[in-house]
Amino acid sequence: MKIFTERTQIQNVIRQNKTRNLSIGFVPTMGALHDGHLFLVKEALKENQVVVVSIFVNPTQFDNKDDLKKYPRTLDNDVELLESVSKDILIYAPTVADIYNGQTVSEAFDFDGLEFEMEGRFRSGHFDGVGTVVKRLLEIVTPDNAYFGKKDYQQLMIIKKLVEKQQIPVNIVGCDIYREVNGLAMSSRNVRLKREYREAAPFIFKTLQTAKNKFGTKSANKVTEWVENEFAKHKFLKLEYFIIADAVTLKSVKRKNKNKKYRAFVAVYADDIRLIDNIALN
Ligand code: PAF
């Protein structure tokens, strides 16, 4: 297993592979890998001859310093998990200095308003941080294909906008949400859930599924009201937002249009752990 901590090292290896005309797939992660990440890695392995996985907890995308401090860092375990999938994966696990070169700050981006919806309202500066690190990682790795999960659907749409506006030559692949058997969307944060919150958390996806059924016959407002009431009654989960939005513009929907695609998005606190999820409605 090859682990690189400096951009020049990984760039050398990538260059050698490119001169042999091998396609490069890339899965950027913040580590604390779980089956959801491995699903992305397996997709990348199917579609590319060389796969790079980055493991980097990006400081500029955390609006909450405590969350950054508590973010799980499990490099040895991550390497073992990746090795169980393929010993040929190239791991790039840079230091903050290798990415930020002494200036750990975000660039300011214009994502045509996508950044102001949902997560953007509650996590100030988050998408500038994501845009900054993803742009740098894509410039270092220069992949043909890069893989992102739809659990962070807004992030996926923003990254598509980033590569379009910055003219970064890469194909962005969005992969389906990988769930535990009980429906809970896999997340590196799940390991921090205390027992009663872990048991309560599948309620999030169950509620999204019922909301999807209701959306077939009811207005977005009525469904939203129903979801808000369900969470208001819940003993362990605190709703931050539930929004039904246009799947392309991410703007919340007032009146349904049968020619448009919609998704429901939710952010919930389970104790001090923030969980997000979403579902396609039509
Ligand atoms: O989704 C994540 O894990 C992160 O936001 C990403 C894309 C690796 C950027 O740090």
pLDDT tens track for 176-204: 999 999 999 999 999 999 999 999 999 99
Ligand 1 pocket mutation, candidates 134, 150, 178, 186, criterion most atoms within 8 A of CB: 134
Amino acid identity of residue 129, one-letter, is: G
Protein residue whose Cα sits closest to atom 2 of ligand 1: 29
The verdict on whether 234 is a catalytic residue reads no
pLDDT band at 254; cut points 50, 70, 90: confident
Other Cβ atoms closer than 10 A to 240: 16
- Lowest-confidence region among 68-72, 138-142, 159-163: 68-72
List the domains of the chain with CATH numbers: 2-175 (3.40.50.620), 188-280 (3.30.1300.10)
Q: In whole numbers, what is the pLDDT of the chain averaged over residues?
A: 97
Say if residues 216 and 180 touch (Cβ distance below 8 Å).
Answer: no
Provide the β-strand partners of residue 279.
Answer: 264
Check residue 46 and give its pLDDT: 98
Quote the pLDDT of residue 67. Answer: 87
* pLDDT higher at 238 or 65: 238
Give the pLDDT confidence score for residue 90 in this predicted structure.
98
Nearest-atom index, ligand 1, CA of 152: 1
| Whole-prediction pTM | 0.96
- What is the rounded CA–CA span in Å between residue 24 and residue 169? 12
